[in-house]
Chain A
Amino acid sequence: MNRIMLSHGGGGLESQELIHGLIIKHFSNPILNNLEDAAVINVSGRLAFTTDSFTVTPIFFRGGDIGKLSVAGTINDLAVMGARPLYLSVSFIIEEGFLIDDLEQIIVSMKSEIDKSGVQIITGDTKVVPKNAVDKIFINTSGIGEIVYEGLSCKNLKVDDIIIVSGTVGDHGACILAQREGITLQTSLSSDCNSIWSMVNILIESGVRIIAMRDPTRGGLSAVLNEWATASNVEIEIMEKAVPIKPEVFGICELLGLDSHNFACEGRMIVAVNKDDGDRTIEILKTHPLGKDASIIGSVTSKEKSRVILTSDYGAKRIMELSAGELLPRIC
């Protein structure tokens, strides 16, 4: 049988085959292998807890797949809270008829991704729904991490804090858009989908005083910066030329009349540090493979107004707006 059937979610024989044949086979660890109704763990200290659901289409894209995304996304949410990611739960909702080989590919991808951060998947669930009840596969992951860096908050930005991005912006959003139905482009652009915990860890261990951190997923750079500006009631100024962007992402923005600062990234972080730590932060990030394009892109300039300003290199200033509505190509 090469396709997922409704019986695979029924709790009976076929479910057990699926659990042992795919899930235990790839995710095996002592807690998961107990296959109890709930995982029992020992964690001390303050915890971070997060959840996210993943519905990306296409499910396989250049640079990753929905599995890698579901793991990296939740690990990154923990990492930017200053938490070492420890455990994940995974919940699959699968459309009847989904290819088992595709499911295995997704699971292998998830395993490869959790190993990068030393994370274990310790509990989960699988449901199978009739054809068309979901679009192929949806995944939810929830994660627990132990706080190893206290004091991060989007409310703590102050004048002169430096804003840094760890790499090129918009790669994931542009890659997905390019593969979306109706916009057939051949490109070598890859999603930046990656777990950033190991990069966050070296920054934490360096002793640099970090004010706030975020991974710019849906809504991109502008969503994070606008959230910080509002939460801290500050004005943030970004130098347009300083924002690193791949030529292919620039190209798709030109082609479709869109702004790269609204595109999602899935393997980047935006970090605010004290004014004296800017150069040191860049130095540290650049030692990590995911941080080689790290750049200072701006700073907090005022407490008078809460807004984000984009400044061109000839001095024109405009508001960096949150995107609204779906990303429609501009034509005429």
Chain B
Amino acid sequence: MVNIDYLKDFRNSERILTLSKLIKRDCARPINIMEICGGHTHTIMKYGLHTLIPNNINFIHGPGCPVCIMPKERIDHAITLAQDEHNIIVTLGDLIRVPSSNSSLQKERARGKNIKIVYSPFDTISIAQQNPDKNIIFIAIGFETTTPMTASLIERVLRDDIKNVYFHINHVLVPPPVMAIMDGAKINAFIGPSHVSVIAGAKIYQGFVDIYKTPVVVSGFEPIDVLDGVYRIVRQFRQGRCEVEIQYKRAVTWDGNIVAQRMIDKYLEIRDTFRWRGIGDIPKSGYRIRDEFAFLDAEKVFSDIFIINEPIDDHKLCICGDILRGIKKPFDCKSFGKSCVPQNPLGACMVSNEGSCSAYYRYRTVS
């Protein structure tokens, strides 16, 4: 008999205030905590958690927004593919607003190009079945949480012998970019992502402890989960521990979802390198389709129409790179809230609802 409300019980005001008091009582030193995941940035800003912690704890926002880190060149791929009326481009919501070198999928859609947003990758199948004479190209984005769904879609496409679906894979992993930015930003501890960890397991963060002696607390999404995560970090410092700790025990285990991991492994493998907007090339940080399924890989099947993968710089005033690397905050950007706003974003961090700038703008705190 369930008598838990998985939302309300983890948003309860009394518990929020108690955790806030405990953190203030027990935090004896300055701690820079990076919350890796855009969803956690969102929770912090929406619930005003940064106003409930002592001044010596500083949240640094991490690169955990897969839409934000999509480089312009790869958006250009999608736009190039959209120009052909035989192609239907399918993607999950946020990506269509990301600026490419001179347009965006949203603008192209307004110009009449065939671009569809789906809530679930699985919806691609009905689009393919309703349009048997078109090429349905799924632009796959997301961290480890969303990668198994693309793999599962590949499996269903093969199982049901659907001939007109192709995949443009942009799935990325969490640990490599965080390791890449460790030296620049002075991070003392991490709040580990909730649902990446459900899939991949808390084990993927052991490297932060072993190599960088930086503790990781894997926390859930609700405000109490995040505050509890902060509290456990404070407690680790007081007790002289440095560990990967799971706060989100109701959903995360050390090993993660093995079925999902096997599904990913069956169809995808890790690329040598992947370019991250604002950060640059990071080795072994992204996925591609395995060679034996190359006939599904849009980058191979449509390779003749792609231009060379030259990196394209962001807008001059845009400091998204520094924000994704945790070195600067949205308020440090001269364009933030002025020329760069959600309805007219200059850079990636403002585009996605998971981006730091978007979270800061949407949930602006009353000072």
Q: Footprint of B on A, CB under 8 Å?
A: 182-183, 254, 257, 307, 309, 312-314, 316-319, 321, 324-325, 328-332
Contacts and interface: CB of A to CB of B under 8 A. Distances in A.
Given A314-B16, A328-B97, A332-B39, 9 more contacts: A182-B118, A182-B119, A182-B123, A254-B7, A324-B341, A325-B342, A332-B65, A332-B67, A332-B354
A316 B52 contact: yes
Given A182-B117, A318-B366, A325-B343, A332 B46 contact: no
B142 A331 contact: yes
Interface string B100-140: 00000000000000001111000100000000000000000
Contacts of B97: 325, 328
Contacts of B117: 182, 328-329
B336 interface: no
Contacts of B118: 182
Interface stretch (B74-82, B183-191, B308-316, B356-364): B356-364
Nearest to B127: A182
Given A314-B13, A316-B51, A309 B366 contact: yes
A254 B46 CA distance: 13
Interface string B321-348: 0000000000000000000011100000
Nearest to A235: B366
Contacts of B49: 316
Contacts of A312: 13, 47-48
A139 B325 CA distance: 51
Given A330-B354, A331-B142, A321 B47 contact: no
B362 A257 contact: no
A321 B358 CA distance: 12
B143 interface: yes
A318 B361 CA distance: 10
Q: Which A-B residue pairs are the 10 nearest by beta carbons?
A: A316-B48, A314-B13, A317-B366, A324-B343, A319-B364, A330-B353, A328-B93, A324-B342, A332-B142, A331-B92
Given A314-B16, A314-B17, A331 B93 contact: yes
Nearest to A183: B119
B interface residue count range (under 10 / 10 to 19 / 20 to 34 / 35 or more) = 35 or more
Given A182-B117, A316-B52, A324-B341, A332 B366 contact: no
Interface in B10-51: 13, 16-17, 38-39, 42, 45-49, 51
B154 to A, nearest CB: 18
Most buried by A among B17, B146, B366: B366
A279 B184 CA distance: 57
Most chain A CB within 10 A, of B66, B93, B97, B364, is at: B93
Contacts of B42: 257
Main SS of chain A's interface residues? loop
Interface string B49-75: 101100000000000011100000000
B145 interface: yes
Contacts of B96: 328
Interface of B: 7, 13, 16-17, 38-39, 42, 45-49, 51-52, 65-67, 92-94, 96-97, 116-119, 123, 141-143, 145-146, 341-343, 353-354, 361-366
Contact of A329 (B66, B119, B143): B119
Nearest to B38: A332
Contacts of A254: 7
A309 to B, nearest CB: 5
A238 to B, nearest CB: 12
Contacts of B342: 324-325
Contacts of B354: 330, 332
A329 B118 CA distance: 9
A246 to B, nearest CB: 15
16 contacts: A182-B116, A182-B117, A257-B42, A314-B17, A318-B364, A318-B366, A319-B366, A321-B361, A321-B362, A324-B343, A328-B93, A329-B92, A330-B94, A331-B93, A332-B39, A332-B143
Nearest to A325: B343
Nearest to B45: A318
B139 to A, nearest CB: 13
B279 to A, nearest CB: 18
A184 B246 CA distance: 35
Nearest to A255: B119
A309 B65 CA distance: 27
A330 B67 CA distance: 11
Contacts of A257: 42, 353
Nearest to B91: A331
Given A182-B117, A328-B353, A317 B365 contact: yes
Contacts of B38: 332
A307 B365 CA distance: 12
Nearest to B367: A317
Contacts of B119: 182-183, 329, 331
Contacts of A317: 48, 365-366
A312 B342 CA distance: 24
B15 to A, nearest CB: 9
A324 B357 CA distance: 14
B366 A331 contact: no
A314 B14 CA distance: 8
Contacts of B141: 332
- Most B CB within 10 A of own CB, among A257, A316, A330, A332: A332
A328 B94 CA distance: 7
